[in-house]
Amino acid sequence: AKKQNDGLRIVLIGPPGSGKGTQAPIIKEDYSVCHLSTGDLLRAAIEQGTELGKQAKVIIDQGGLVPDETMIGMIKENLQNPECGKGFILDGFPRTVGQAEKLDKMLDDQGQKIDHVFDFFIDDSLLVRRITGRLVHLASGRSYHREFFPPKVDMIDDVTGEPLIQRSDDNPAVLQKRLASFHSNTKPVLSYYKEKNILSVIDASRSATHVSNHIKSIFFNSLHFPSNKFPIV
């Protein structure tokens, strides 16, 4: 049974391939909130050939980070979307402590705050296989895996019948740079939220179903949420 909530605002943080983009649509469905993936938004800008897209492509293909100001502007704009009225899942943002501080300030100005943050913890060694086998449907952000979650028809999206692609940054060389950036820029964001006492660590090396159930159990049990805010499934 679904129940409306007065706003669920959560953040998913984890290294490339840890499963953020796999879990977010499941949470979105359960809680009727919006899913904002900054990676998906940047890839949409690249696809549209906008000025931002052109600049972002160079950075993404080198495994670097798009400047904080650009990303904060992007999140601010997208949070206006009516779909985000009941709350949101941020996936891939914030990625630096600067982004986290600006996000808090932005929400505070609106009398809101982040409810909970999930740390998708997984050893780097497991990520190469996940990333090099990943296939994505660009328009929706849906991801598949050649071995773990193959599409019904080879290289075709199950839902739309459109072609799947391999991301240009999904290769072992760029992955190493993305991982290095995660450790130096994004790990401190986890400490930032841990200090605020809103961080839960998830074992992201387990199956997607296991991870999903773990997240759901935290929603039910967490003292940070009033129990009536969550649906009983």
How far apart are the C-alpha atoms of 98 and 24, rounded to whole Å? 23
42 binds ligand AP5 (CB under 6 A): yes
93 binds ligand AP5 (CB under 6 A): yes
Site for ligand AP5 in 165-224 (CB under 6 A): 178, 207-208, 211
Min dist CB 6 to ligand AP5, Å, is 27
Q: Is the preceding omega at residue 67 within 30 degrees of 0, hence cis?
A: no
Binding segment for ligand AP5 among 103-111, 137-145, 156-164, 221-229 (CB under 6 A)?
Answer: 137-145
The catalytic position among 9, 57, 130, 178 is 178
Binding segment for ligand AP5 among 1-9, 65-73, 105-113, 190-198 (CB under 6 A)?
Answer: 65-73
For residue 20, indicate whether it is catalytic: yes
Phi-psi region of 63 (alpha: psi -120 to 50; beta: other; left: phi over 0): left
Provide the mask over 143-172, with x wherever binding to ligand AP5 is found by CB under 6 A and - wherever it is not.
xxx--xx-----------------------
Provide the residue count of the chain.
233
Q: Please, are residues 93 and 71 in contact by the beta-carbon 8 Å criterion?
A: yes
For residue 54, indicate whether it is catalytic: no
In the complex with ligand AP5, the residue whose CB is nearer, 11 or 229, is 11
In the complex with ligand AP5, the residue whose CB is nearer, 146 or 231, is 146
Min dist CB 14 to ligand AP5, Å, is 5
In the complex with ligand AP5, the residue whose CB is nearer, 17 or 87, is 17
